A and B are shown apart, each in its own frame.
Chain A
Amino acid sequence: MSARPASGRSTTLEQLFATKEIVVCCGSGGVGKTSVAAAAALGAATRLGGKTLVLTIDPARRLATALGLDGIGNEAHRVPPEVLKTAGLEPRGELWAAMLDTKQSWDDLVRRHARDPETAYRILENRLYTNLTARFVQSHDYIAMERLFEIHASGEYDLIVVDTPPTRNAVDFLDAPARMAEFFGGRLLRWLTLPYRVGGKRSVKMINFASRPFYQVADRVLGSKFLEDIAEFFLNFQSMYEGFVERAQSVERLLHDRRTTFAVVTTLEAAPLYEAEHFCAVLRDREFHLGALVLNKTLPDTLLDPEGAAASAAFADRAGPIADALAALPDHALADTARTARVLRTVAESYANFSVVAMREAELRAELARVPDVVVRVPGFEHDISDIASLLEICDALFVDS
């Protein structure tokens, strides 16, 4: 890779990316994380060279199509160079994209860690397992990080940009590996499966079960058959304990590694920004590397220009005379002065409206307390982010030289 800063801290995204192998994009829902992640990867591929992969969770369909991700599973695909060429790009490197297939990733994990194919089969066929992996989004948390580890370990890519799953809380996924390890290593699991292990065989019945107060309560609430199902499932799952915990710890280490950095994405709206600041604080407290803050979908500064405000006021206050002056032009669309005056007033009102929002954004930006070294602002685009050309627009804003 090139463009390594000589020393000290990165001040541009390009410098930051040049020193990292993993960029984790996070932020609350609706801020445009997925688009920013894709654009960042595109930027890295075009500017830094090498192989860049964007690992995305749930891209908008048209964006997925643009990246050639339609109907692919867990496999990474190269975005065809022709697609990039059509958008006028001569990338120095390769852009790859992969989508996260949660179910597939879990199944792979089980096959990898189960002690034998029969155990793997029993787990994969268990109805609790099927429910757990297919129905519940929470399982995204861990598996996304696990996939990241897997891909990174393959050594195939110079840079991996990962889009984080939609969690209730932006920091949830950070705890996922530790939670996983604790879960499988915990006394609780041993406790719950104890009655089964005492007998040595899965067929041992509920004799010990019912003798403990906890089981009595649990039995009354859940029904013993259900509890038995759960215990059996976890007994099987526990056979994967060592491999699993080791793995979860490796994932955790990787997130803390100096080759990994976090980019927090937010809009300049109160709620997402509040969450972004909270997230930045958590990352710092827990000694993750906070590399960049991306302020996405922002309004242009021209809305804050006093000259714009003055012109807007003039449009509103002197709509009649201005319309009269315009009527002198040889343009039939400007002949009706009443109509022109109305349009001028509407235009003025719209400017005033958007100025209010731009002012709110500026205030929020000014209030940002501690920010990382790299802060970039991406304008809100009037069209959807649905092709390489529109990704390129974000990209240009992201990689602007400060």
Chain B
Amino acid sequence: MSGADLLDRRCLFFTGKGGVGKSTMAAATALLAARTGRRVLLIEVDAKGDIPAQFEQKAVGFTPREVYPGVHAMAMDTEASLREYLRVSMRVPVIGRLGPLAKVLDFVATAAPGVKEILTIGKIMWEVREAIEGRAEHDIVVVDAAATGHIVAQLGAADAIQELVDVGPLRDQTRWVSELLGDPDVTAVNIVTTPEEMPVTETIELVARLRAEVDVPLGVVIVNRVLPELFTRSDEETFEALRRPEATEVLVSQAGRGAVEVLDAARLAVSLRRTRAVHLDELRETVELPLLYVPYLFVRDHGLRVTRMVADALGAELGH
């Protein structure tokens, strides 16, 4: 895919190393989708409250709540997901809290890899299926998914269950999850990174692991916090000339002692950009996925204004 048709998928996952701005990108994409008239369900998997914070809203629960016109957000809750599953799919009536069953779930989840993950991915894909079949209040599901360390397990949970469970309803019911998840017309797993060493390394490793271990279509790589290129080559020559003692002396006499600090700051900006360019090059050469760039935002605040700015930048990259 080119990235241009990203919003045509029904199910968009956003993952990445902690701290790179995964939640911001998921929120900005949701905002962008809402701008194009799509009704969005935005799911926060880690339930840390990062998603509502992007819209300056208070925490959301398992029941979706509108956090922005056209965007409903919900937080994943595996116990609630299990109850819903038992009620809707297994027709087991569950009244009140699960109590001991929740503890058993915790226990089984630790013991049996994939149970917690399948409840998460199952709920997500169930919402996707509802959207496809026109039964939902939303057209597209955007997921602020687990970080790079957990995402493979999460995406591979349905397959893992089928590997471990030989027969039974769980096996049957994980099959459609795998199918939807693997459909390139439906799903895209997107990776958020910054042009720094560890995030780039993790992205490259994650792409390789996803390709090797799970059957999911990869979407785009979003590079966040890209520093601006300050100078062309000839301009940089002039900048270097400004830093020579005679020139700096002139600058100090013209603009005061602070001129040195201003030059130093620019040099820091130039070399930061240069260090990061190396990582960007490596990323570009290795992942073979469309790259979208979101500039470093030199702003003081965070919240809705920043989410809007990021959405603008993403929109421009997607050709909107």
Contact across chains for A343 and B235 when beta carbons are under 8 A apart? yes
Number of interface residues of B (CB under 8 A): 81
Contact across chains for A357 and B298 when beta carbons are under 8 A apart: yes
B254 in complex: contacting residue of A166, A322, A350, CB < 8 Å: A322
Segment 181-220 of B: residues with Cβ below 8 Å from A: 194, 196-199, 201
- CB contacts under 8 Å to A, within B105-133, are 107-108, 110-115
Residues of B within 8 A of A344 (CB): 242
Question: Is B247 among interface residues, defined by CB-CB distance under 8 A?
Answer: yes
**B103 at the A interface (CB under 8 A):** yes
Chain A residues with CB under 8 A of B149: 137, 166
Whether the pair A315, B255 counts as a contact (CB closer than 8 A) is: yes
| Contact among B101, B107, B169, B240 with A220 in the assembled complex (CB-CB below 8 Å) | B169
Asked if B316 lies at the interface with its beta carbon under 8 angstroms from chain A, I say no
CA–CA, A314 and B50, complex, Å:
41
User: B63 at the A/B interface (Cβ < 8 Å)?
Assistant: no
Contacting B264 at CB < 8 Å: which of A61, A189, A302?
Answer: A302
Binds B, one of A111-119, A152-160, A327-335, A368-376: A327-335
For A8-30 the 0/1 string (1 means CB < 8 A from B) is 00000000000000000000111
Within the complex, the shortest CB–CB distance from B269 to chain A, in Å, comes to: 5
B265 within 8 A of A: yes
Residue pair B198, A322 in contact (C-beta under 8 Å)? no
**Closest residue on chain A to residue B198 by CB atoms:** A60
Decide if B88 is an interface residue (CB 8 Å cutoff).
no
Contact check: which of B17, B169, B238, B251 meets A30 at CB < 8 Å? B17
Partner of A354, one of B171, B255, B268: B268
Q: Which residues of B contact A (CB under 8 A)?
A: 17-20, 46, 48, 50, 86, 90, 92, 100-101, 103-104, 107-108, 110-115, 146-147, 149-150, 153, 160, 164-171, 194, 196-199, 201, 228, 230-231, 234-235, 237-242, 244, 246-247, 250-251, 254-259, 261-266, 268-269, 271-272, 274-275, 298-302
Q: A residues touching B (Cβ–Cβ < 8 Å)?
A: 28-31, 60-62, 127-128, 131-132, 135-138, 166, 168-169, 183, 186, 188-189, 192, 214, 217-218, 220-226, 229-230, 233-234, 267, 270-272, 300, 302-303, 305-312, 314-315, 318, 321-322, 325-326, 329, 331, 333-334, 336, 339-340, 342-344, 346-348, 350-351, 353-357, 359-360, 363, 380, 382-386
Q: List 14 A-B contacts (CB under 8 A).
A: A29-B19, A30-B19, A135-B113, A137-B150, A221-B86, A308-B265, A318-B254, A321-B254, A336-B238, A339-B234, A347-B263, A357-B298, A383-B271, A383-B275
